[in-house]
């Protein structure tokens, strides 16, 4: 990992020095050994803060949205899943490819700093994590799918034989059991909208949940408003989730958001596939559910 | 002195929940927070009195995330209030830490002083008894002492319990506390016991002079850098024991409906959106700055203390590792004389 850090610094220095980028997005060290966090270098002097280690888990592609209206040229380090996030943004017309210098890192799998902080917080019963982050066990593409420069040796996907095991378990439940399951998980939601904020596919300028006139979704933390929030969020993910798992990772009340996203991935693949979101960028290509044809046999959605 | 043996803790909680709704710190599934003792499930829930604290703060007991205020019926051009939902039934919070007790004291300032009394808050607060749990072992992210909170002497407590290993010293502080002691009767023993010693803090925040210094740092370039990675989600505000911003909204169908209030977050852009469409804090950096200035400067100017009690929950839950202790120290150390 140290080699990767040095290589990233070398590239960042070069890009900032010759004015090829204005901002270089990577990670820096936090207070504890396990608290790596996002860091955006703007000057050559900042570069020495950049690191890449086993806790560089955050999907930085989402942060490009902060600069979508600007002119800055941006260097960004991406792992496999993060690079699919870049494809998402390019397909959604959120940022121009020419503004980006993408440094891809073949990802050996990450640990979750958030989980590590929680484990050491004293706010939960003692747990034994320290292994690979949960989201990395479902990884189908650890290698960047779009990049200008690639670092590290090619990695093999970590997902096991049964990719949609949990989804199938839920599908096999009776309707009542399923309702009970989702009622339980959604009743916990505190509506902090962190799942939306960290999501690269959530790039609408005005989110439906923020609209006041009309107010589509009520703001009570009640089971009906919470259900509505999660149903709407999920349906907006169909064919769009690039499986970075950030929503589930950051949820402070551990709602299994990726379970819902994976059900959509499975169904989109079945009905409109074969298709995996964000695996390849072809300019002008229209992925499933992103175009409409006049002769569509269904007249609504 | 009165002593509560840990072996009798469940009897004590059962006894206290006879005449009031009793809230205790529990780990429930992947969550941890304050839950009603009546909902305790032996086997799957775990009582967290021996833990440092729980992630979801006890603020919802005196200030719920969603609270109905009143229901109404429209009648032509007039509106009739049908029912108000003030909630005066007795409640007990058992085992909250000094940081969370101090946060409730901040709520008291906001909702009960300066000429404003919030009757919904008052109904809950007046009927809440607090059994606070003195802290002697600060955790990895604790910095309450730096924010003016004494972890061993929780404010607002009706009873303070002090962990001596196999039992708690039971120290009643108010009439409400005496009533609880009386209700427990023989469950409390009379023995001698020694309070533990406060251990040193690992987090060192230096808040001295920070509120004053921030007055001159509204336009400081520091905010842009600090806010650059913030996702502007509402986690920090919702897990914070002292964040109290709320919105008042209405649900109606036909001529009927009810008004409720719900937590709001200064991290959301909609929070400051005004009628007419202007938004004075439309970008992330402005919202980020406001949150920290409210905590560290504005509240202090109005009420003489910061709106942060050093519990460390925002440090634990922030998706991108934003750390308020580092921000306090960065403000403290900033050399503002060299800045434009």
Burial code (b: 16+ CB inside 10 Å, e: under 16) for A55-72 equals: bbbbbbbbbbbbbeeeee
Top residue of A127, A129, A192 to mutate, by most chain B CBs within 10 Å, is A192
User: Does some domain include residue B153?
Assistant: yes
User: Does some domain include residue B283?
Assistant: yes
User: Does some domain include residue A206?
Assistant: yes
Does pLDDT of B29 surpass 90? no
pLDDT tens digits for A231-253?
999 999 999 999 999 999 999 99
pLDDT tens digits for B49-74?
999 999 999 999 999 999 999 999 99
Cis before A284? omega within 30: no
Going by the DSSP 8-state scheme, the letter that residue A263 receives in this structure is H
In the predicted model, what is the mean pLDDT of residues A98-112?
97
d(CA B267, CA A196): 13
Structural domain count of chain B = 1
pLDDT tens digits for A49-93?
999 999 999 999 999 999 999 999 999 999 999 999 999 999 999
Range of the domain at B211: 2-335
> A252 contacts in B (CB within 8 Å)?
55, 235, 238-239, 317
User: Does some domain include residue B229?
Assistant: yes
Structural domain count of chain A = 1
User: Does some domain include residue A117?
Assistant: yes
Which residue from A30, A212, A222 is facing B66, i.e. has the nearest CB? A222
**Are A193 and B273 within 8 A, CB to CB?**
no
Say what the pTM is. 0.94
User: Does some domain include residue B340?
Assistant: no
Determine contact, residues B305/B299, Cβ cutoff 8 Å.
yes
User: Does some domain include residue B162?
Assistant: yes
pLDDT tens digits for A16-46?
999 999 999 999 999 999 999 999 999 999 9
**Are A188 and B139 within 8 A, CB to CB?**
no
Range of the domain at A73: 2-272
**Are B141 and A121 within 8 A, CB to CB?**
yes
d(CA B258, CA B83): 9
User: Does some domain include residue A171?
Assistant: yes
User: Does some domain include residue B330?
Assistant: yes
CA atoms within 13 A on the CB side of A22: 7
Pairing, β B159-163 against β B189-190:
unpaired
Phi-psi region of B253 (alpha: psi -120 to 50; beta: other; left: phi over 0): beta
User: Does some domain include residue B270?
Assistant: yes
User: Does some domain include residue B48?
Assistant: yes
Kindly state the tokens that stand for A203: 């790039």
């Amino acid at each position: 990992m140290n080699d990767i850090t040095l290589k990233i610094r070398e590239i960042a220095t070069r890009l900032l020095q010759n004015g090829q980028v204005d901002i270089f997005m990577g990670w820096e060290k936090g207070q504890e050994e396990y608290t790596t966090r996002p860091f955006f270098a703007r000057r050559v002097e900042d570069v020495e803060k950049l690191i890449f280690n086993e806790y560089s888990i955050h999907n930085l592609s989402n942060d490009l949205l902060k600069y979508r209206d600007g002119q800055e040229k941006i260097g960004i380090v991406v792992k496999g899943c993060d690079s699919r996030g870049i494809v998402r943004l390019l397909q959604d017309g959120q940022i121009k490819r020419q503004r980006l210098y993408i440094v891809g890192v073949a990802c050996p799998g990450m640990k979750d700093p958030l989980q590590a902080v929680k484990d050491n917080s004293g706010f939960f019963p003692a747990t034994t994590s320290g292994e690979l982050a949960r989201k990395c066990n479902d990884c189908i593409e650890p290698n960047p799918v779009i990049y200008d420069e690639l670092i590290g040796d090619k990695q093999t996907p970590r997902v096991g034989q049964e990719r949609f095991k949990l989804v199938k378990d839920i599908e096999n439940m009776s309707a009542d059991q399923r309702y009970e399951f989702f009622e339980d998980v959604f009743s916990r939601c505190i509506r902090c909208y962190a799942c939306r904020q960290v999501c690269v596919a959530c790039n609408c300028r005005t989110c439906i949940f923020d609209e006041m006139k009309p107010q589509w979704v009520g703001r009570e933390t009640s089971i009906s408003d919470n259900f509505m929030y999660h149903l709407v969020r999920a349906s907006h993910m169909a064919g769009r989730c690039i499986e970075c798992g950030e929503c589930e990772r950051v949820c402070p009340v551990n709602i299994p958001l990726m379970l819902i996203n994976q059900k959509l991935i499975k169904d989109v693949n079945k009905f409109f596939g074969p298709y995996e979101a964000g695996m390849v960028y072809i300019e002008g290509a229209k992925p499933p559910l992103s175009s409409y044809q006049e002769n569509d046999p269904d007249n609504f959605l | 002195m009165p002593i509560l043996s840990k072996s009798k803790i469940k009897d004590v909680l059962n006894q206290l929940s006879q005449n009031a709704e009793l809230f205790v710190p529990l780990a429930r599934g992947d969550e941890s927070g304050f839950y009603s003792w009546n909902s305790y499930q032996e086997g799957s829930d775990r009582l967290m009195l021996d833990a440092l604290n729980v992630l979801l703060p006890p603020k919802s007991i005196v200030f719920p995330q969603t609270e109905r205020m009143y229901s109404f019926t429209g009648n032509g051009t007039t509106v009739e209030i049908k029912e108000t939902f003030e909630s005066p039934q007795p409640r007990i919070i058992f085992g909250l830490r000094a940081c969370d007790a101090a946060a409730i004291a901040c709520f008291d300032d906001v909702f009960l002083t300066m000429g404003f009394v919030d009757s919904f808050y008052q109904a809950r607060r007046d009927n809440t008894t607090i059994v606070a749990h003195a802290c002697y072992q600060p955790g990895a992210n604790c910095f309450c002492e730096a924010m003016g909170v004494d972890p061993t002497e929780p404010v607002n407590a009706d009873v303070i319990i002090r962990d001596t290993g196999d039992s708690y010293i039971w120290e009643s502080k108010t009439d409400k506390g005496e009533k609880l002691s009386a209700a427990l009767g023989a469950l409390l023993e009379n023995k001698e016991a020694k309070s533990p010693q406060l251990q040193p803090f690992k987090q060192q925040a230096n808040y001295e002079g920070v509120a004053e210094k921030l007055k001159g740092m509204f336009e400081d370039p520091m905010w842009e850098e600090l806010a650059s990675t913030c996702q502007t989600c509402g986690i920090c505000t919702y897990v914070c024991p002292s964040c109290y911003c709320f919105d008042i909204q209405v649900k109606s169908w036909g001529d009927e409906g009810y008004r409720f209030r719900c937590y709001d977050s200064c991290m959301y852009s909609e929070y400051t959106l005004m009628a007419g469409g202007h938004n004075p804090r439309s970008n992330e950096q402005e919202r980020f700055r406001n949150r920290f200035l409210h905590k560290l400067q504005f509240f202090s100017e109005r009420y003489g203390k910061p709106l942060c009690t050093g519990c460390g929950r925002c440090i634990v839950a922030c998706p991108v590792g934003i750390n308020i202790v580092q921000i306090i120290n960065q403000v403290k150390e900033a050399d503002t004389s060299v800045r434009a």
